[in-house]
A and B are shown apart, each in its own frame.
Chain A
Amino acid sequence: MALVGFLLLAGAAIAGALGVVLQRNALYGALSLVGVFVATAVLYLMLSAPFLAVLQLIVYAGAIMVLFIFVIMLISVRYEESGESAGVPGGTKRYTAMGLAAVLVILFSILSFKMALTPSGTRSLGGITELGLALYQKYMFPFEVASILLLVAIVGALSITRRHGRGLEGNVAMEKEV
């Protein structure tokens, strides 16, 4: 039963991934990516990581992809017309790519099966309690660093897109000029 569910979700994830890569329209690609994230989130549930599943949906699908879609709409939508050639290039490039990908997959598969993994029985692994305990005890320092990282990212994003000499108003001007 679980296997069937896994296969369905896997199929969905792969379909979404292919969609991201193969779609000519970036917006459709973004939506496919959202699909991938949802499928992955359910997989996380299967793997007794409920908190992370939810987190995935909130952060990835809810925040990151929204940001992506903003930018796509701002930039790429108009751009599409200028004719990027078909999403996937033809000829040798295509085959090299597929070859590369195949190699990767094969390698990992070999490894995985060689490892002969057996699942342990614990089911209450990924609950908030366990995760919280780990975060605030063992991984306290990385936690704090991560918060600083987020601060840095905010400052960085603002300063990169700032219009010089116009202070904060410069950012607003973006709407008009793009």
Chain B
Amino acid sequence: MAPSPALFQVLAAVLFSIGVMGVLFRRNILVIFMCVELMLNAANLSLIAFAHTLGNVDGQVVVFFALAVAAAEVSVGLAIIIDLFRKKGTVDVEQVSLLKG
């Protein structure tokens, strides 16, 4: 018995919201970044489930590109984090409140 397609969506939603929680409430910027990846992954899952449901390959193409973009994004993001660590000596976001005001 195949799982109903809706279940995949629910799973994606759950993973996504877990990722949201992590983004909001962790202080270590690397962990935050990882949660972002988690969210992306959840979105990809949702897309592929839809592609399967609708019999369309376009969803998978989108995921393909999303994967590529995620890779690029991670490399640049980590570069920024390293730079931030060099400048501030910390990766605790609560200590980097330069935008305060």
Residues of A close to B67: CB separation below 8 A: 52, 55-56, 59-60
Q: Would you list which residues of chain B between 50 and 101 have a CB under 8 Å from chain A?
A: 51-55, 57-58, 60-61, 63-65, 67-76, 78-83, 85-86, 90-92
Q: Would you list which residues of chain A between 58 and 84 have a CB under 8 Å from chain B?
A: 59-60, 63-64, 67-68, 71-72, 74-76, 79, 82, 84
Closest to A71 in B: B78
Indicate if A93 sits at the interface (CB-CB under 8 A).
Answer: yes
Given contacts A49-B48, A109-B10, contact A33 B37 (CB under 8 A): yes
Closest to A154 in B: B75
- Docked Cα-Cα span, A71 to B67, in Å, equals 20
Across chains A and B, the number of contacting residue pairs, with CB separation under 8 Å, is 249
In contact, A68 and B13 (Cβ under 8 angstroms)? no
Nearest chain B CB to A1's CB is how many angstroms away?
7
In contact, B10 and A161 (Cβ under 8 angstroms)? no
Q: Which range holds the interface residue count of chain A? A: 35 or more
Contact with B70, one of A14, A64, A74 (Cβ below 8 angstroms) = A64
Residues of A close to B14: CB separation below 8 A: 14, 17, 105
Residues of B close to A152: CB separation below 8 A: 72
Contact with B53, one of A26, A40, A119, A139 (Cβ below 8 angstroms) = A119
Contact with B76, one of A55, A63, A156 (Cβ below 8 angstroms) = A156
Contact with B along A117-131 (1 / 0, CB 8 A): 111111001100011
Contact with B13, one of A94, A104, A135 (Cβ below 8 angstroms) = A104
In contact, A125 and B57 (Cβ under 8 angstroms)? yes
Closest to B55 in A: A120
Contact with A along B5-39 (1 / 0, CB 8 A): 11111111111111111101111101101110110
Pairs across A and B, CB under 8 Å, 18 listed:
A3-B3, A20-B34, A20-B35, A30-B34, A33-B37, A59-B70, A60-B67, A68-B30, A79-B92, A88-B25, A104-B16, A104-B20, A105-B13, A112-B6, A112-B10, A125-B57, A135-B64, A157-B76
Q: 17 extra interchain contacts, Cβ-Cβ under 8 A, other than A84-B92, A161-B82?
A: A10-B7, A20-B18, A29-B31, A49-B48, A68-B74, A72-B30, A76-B30, A97-B24, A100-B17, A119-B52, A120-B55, A130-B57, A135-B61, A146-B68, A153-B72, A153-B75, A160-B82
